Chains A and B, each alone.
Chain A
Amino acid sequence: DSGVTQTPKHLITATGQRVTLRCSPRSGDLSVYWYQQSLDQGLQFLIQYYNGEERAKGNILERFSAQQFPDLHSELNLSSLELGDSALYFCASSVSPTGQDTQYFGPGTRLTVL
C-alpha cells in the first residue's frame, strides 16, 4: 500500500458525459501528479499540482481539468467523454515540487466509456 488513495476504483459511463476522479496523496506529500494509461498511448503524464497550484502540464486535453484543494486532495475532471478516453487513470504523490524525490502511485481508477 503506497498510502495514495483513489476513488472510485471503477467508473462506467457514456460518451458525452462528465466524470470526476478523486485522489488523496500520502500524508505529508504536497505534490500530486495525474497519469493516463491507455493501450494505444501507454503511460502519459497529464498534469501536476503542488500545494494547490498547477506546476506542470503534459499531454492533457482541453476537455480535462484538475485542481488541488486546501486539504491537498486532487480531482481530475473529464468532460465530453469519448470512447478513446477509456483508460486507467493514476494519481501519484511526492513531497517536493521539483521532482527530486520519488513518486508513489495510487491504485488507479479504471474508466470505461461506452
Chain B
Amino acid sequence: AQTVTQSQPEMSVQEAETVTLSCTYDTSESDYYLFWYKQPPSRQMILVIRQEAYKQQNATENRFSVNFQKAAKSFSLKISDSQLGDAAMYFCAYRSAEYGNKLVFGAGTILRVKS
C-alpha cells in the first residue's frame, strides 16, 4: 500500500520570504500523480499543484513550485514571496495512475505566515 509522509507538523515563514514543505512517499508503482492541497481555516480543500510522475519537469503555478525527485520518492513544495493568505494546512497526496480512484494523504503541515 502507498504511504505519504510529511515530517514537518508545523512551519513558519516571514511574509515575502520563501518556505519549502517536505513530503516523501512510498510506492512500488512507476506511474502515479502527486498533489499538494491547501486547507485554510475555512476547511475547504484547494488544489495547489499537480505533478505527473512521468514528467521530468517540475510543475509550477505562479508562486508555487515543486521539487520532484522520483528516485528519492520526494515531492517538496516551495512557496515564494509568501503572503498572509498562504497560511493554512498543506497536504501532500498520492494517486495511483493504474488504480487512481483514491487520494492517499499525508498528515499535513501547518504553515504560519508572520507579518
Contacts and interface: CB of A to CB of B under 8 A. Distances in A.
Nearest to A58: B102
Contacts of A103: 103
Interface of A: 2, 33, 35, 42-45, 48, 55-56, 58, 88, 90, 92, 97-100, 102-105, 107-108, 110
Given A43-B91, A99-B97, A100-B97, A108 B105 contact: no
Interface of B: 33, 35, 37, 42-47, 50, 91, 95-97, 99-108
Q: Is the interface of B mostly helix, strand, loop or mixed?
A: loop
Nearest to B50: A102
Contact of A105 (B45, B97, B106): B45
Contact of A99 (B47, B101, B105): B101
Contacts of A44: 105
